[in-house]
Chain A
Amino acid sequence: MALAITGVNGLIKWSYYTAARAEGYAVYRDKDGHWTMTATLVLSDAFKMRQRPLIFVAPYVRETCASCLKAMQVCSCREPQRVSAPGEWRWPIESLEMGPVTGQTKMQAVLGEQLP
């Protein structure tokens, strides 16, 4: 199983509500293209977590160079012009399991296809 994305702060959303904050998440994609994720839940709302559909949201900041329009990591301009644009990756949660592990609420979920 290949590790795809890790992050510090993610969100579990029910429509426009935040059902929980997912700390220290890791999203995996296996060779068949199936997505799964694990995280520690904080500030979760029991009612909202029971609703469906739930969406896992992983926010990111994309840094590009305004001169060459390439990502900053591959920009080779002499004077790069850094532009930051926030965005987010989103997946529908198809099934999830939650449970206490050493005093924290851990979560494992099967995700659907990444949303546009």
Chain B
Amino acid sequence: MGRNRFVKPDMVRLYLADVHRRHLEDLLDPLKQQALEPEKRATPSDLDTARAAIADAEADGAWIDVKRELNAGETRHVFAQLVKDMRAGEKIALDPEKVGITKVLEYLLGWSFTDDKGQSVAVSQGAIEALDQETYTEITQAIEAHEARMEADRTERKKKTTGIVTSEAISTSVA
């Protein structure tokens, strides 16, 4: 039996504190820092700020629920929403207002965010657009990192598969 080619609709919970942890890891990564211009490299003050952001995010405990993987239709939908104009032989014109949010809308299923009365708020385009800029950035970064991780997993899986499956001759030719 061949592999199941249909995306199973699984949900993954991402903690927003992990966005800040990854940012601190980048600041502490000597290779990434060396690649930057000297004035853009992390200072001790940047590290303190990043550590404080992690502590804040951990105390808040905010999370988002996202789709583990987008299926073909959802991926095409992200692209279609993003494109403003597409003509043969010309560069694709993107809609700047849709960049980022189309992917967030397709991935995001739920979150821990509440209103002033402590009541949970349903995910919707209106609610996403009403978020503060910092939270929106945390969400986009969390989804980007999740997507990169899934892509790396898929690549790893393909490598393993191609390592196992061999295509050998079923019978030798008489000629």
Contact = CB atoms under 8 A, between A and B. Distances in A.
A15 to B, nearest CB: 4
Interface string B7-26: 01111000000000000000
Contacts of B10: 15
A26 B13 CA distance: 34
A85 interface: yes
Question: In terms of DSSP, what is the predominant structure of the interface of chain B?
Answer: loop
A16 B9 contact: yes
A74 B8 CA distance: 45
Nearest to B65: A16
B119 A16 contact: no
Among A14, A15, A17, A86, which residue has the most Cβ atoms of chain B within 10 A? A15
A101 to B, nearest CB: 30
B109 interface: yes
Interface of B: 8-11, 67, 109, 119, 122
Interface of A: 14-17, 85-86
Given A16-B9, A17-B9, 8 more contacts: A15-B8, A15-B9, A15-B10, A15-B11, A16-B11, A16-B67, A85-B119, A86-B122
